[in-house]
Structure 1
Amino acid sequence: MDATLPPPVAVEDVSLGTLLAACDAQTAAPLVFSYEGRTIRPGYHVTEVKAGQFAALDCGGNPEAWSEIFVQLWDVIDGDRTHMNAGKFAAIIRKVSEHVGLDLSARLTFEVSDGVAPMQLHCAGHPRMAEGRLAVDLSPRAASCKPRDRWLEEQKASACCGPSTSKQPCCG
């Protein structure tokens, strides 16, 4: 039996600073998020913005530390509202930053729910203009094995520079 693990899912993962820069460049454009094959509803709300500092050990016993920003989106219809424009979204984030001190280079995670289904964690792709809207695709945030991810990156780097003798790490 082959115990080879599948390759990690490639994920675009933008920082809060990248998203804010795109919003600043297109302040009047509607900011539209897409997830699970659909577009967020026009009445969506930013219900919470959280900043976290995390320290952990990965499955290989390696210390890890990172900053992460969580933006909670409530995917609802609210009267005749339209999608929030990018300038308003940026203003909300900056107001939070005045009180909380957000790290613009931090990992960005979106928590999305319609108020009925459980929240789902998503990472954001690079913002792009499409059909007059600033579009941001959200992808499910998958679990990963950091030692394995580092090993795969080393393999990619050594493939262009010569043979590698390192073995895949044993995790778990």
Structure 2
Amino acid sequence: MKTQELFSILETNKNKTLLFEYAEGVFVNANYHITEVKHVTIDAVDCGAQTDAWKETIIQLWESPNEIGKTEYMSVLKALGILNKVGQIKPYILDAEVKFEYSNSMFHTAQLFVNDFEIRGNNLVFKLAIEKTDCKAKELCGVVEELQANTSSCAPGSGCC
């Protein structure tokens, strides 16, 4: 999801409560805060010696240990106020990919992509997901991806592990 799309969804749903689902049925707790917004420029070289560059907006979510047990989630309006204030200080690149950085005691620190969103009653739920790393130069480097016919049985020496 691009930063502009995130803002459009937030603007359209100002009267809702904002939740983040980072695994099926698992949510960032209600004691979360937006603690940092990063405007990141990636300038990369892949293993095929190809260069690439892009921008990302990374919004950090943090669960306050002083508010464990909190049950009321942040409103979309409050989140939008925080993000708009950031934009006044450091303007957003609206076509930048947006990610949410998050961790807790049960989940490692990760930058999560927004896969989708949905309205559940009075809640705006952003569905976050981890994307696996990948080789961008497969063709250049001669990497052939093989599909495993039966990944349900994985024995040593079978080639699936």
Give the AA of the match of 2:109.
M
Please list, as runs of the form range in 1=range in 2, the aligned pairs for 1:121-160 lying within 5 A after superposition.
Answer: 121-148=111-138
**Range 118-127 or range 65-74, more displaced:** 118-127
The CA distance in 1 between the partners of 2:31 and 2:37, in whole Å, is 18
The CA distance in 2 between the partners of 1:169 and 1:75, in whole Å, is 43
- Asked if 1:102 is matched to 2:92, the reply is yes
Selected match of 1:50 from 35, 38, 59:
38
Per-residue Cα deviation, 1:103-138 (whole angstroms, up to 9, x for no partner) = 111011211022686422210123221222111111
How far residue 48 of structure 1 moved from its aligned partner, in angstroms, is 0.7
The residue aligned with 2:159 is none
- Asked if 1:169 is matched to 2:153, the reply is no
**Gap regions ≥5 residues in structure 2:** 144-161
More strand by share: 2
The CA distance in 1 between the partners of 2:119 and 2:56, in whole Å, is 25
The residue aligned with 2:104 is 114
CA RMSD of aligned residues (A): 2.1
Runs of 4+ in 1 over 6 A off after TM superposition: none
The residue aligned with 1:63 is 51
The residue aligned with 2:8 is 21
TM-score, normalised to structure 2's length?
Answer: 0.77
Taking a change above 3 Å as real, the CA distance of residues 93 and 171 of structure 1, as seen in their structure-2 partners, is farther
Please list, as runs of the form range in 1=range in 2, the aligned pairs for 1:69-84 lying within 5 A after superposition.
Answer: 69-76=57-64, 78=67, 80=70, 82-84=72-74
Kept in 1, the 8 Å contact 2:41–2:53? The answer is yes
Per-residue Cα deviation, 1:79-115 (whole angstroms, up to 9, x for no partner) = 6451111121111111111111111110112110226
Per-residue Cα deviation, 1:19-56 (whole angstroms, up to 9, x for no partner) = 11111001010111001330111111111111011211
* Identical counterparts, % of pairs: 26
- Asked if 1:40 is matched to 2:28, the reply is yes
Give the AA of the match of 1:102.
Y
Taking a change above 3 Å as real, the CA distance of residues 40 and 116 of structure 1, as seen in their structure-2 partners, is closer
- Find the residue that maps to 2:137 and give its secondary structure: helix
**Gap regions ≥5 residues in structure 1:** 1-13, 149-167
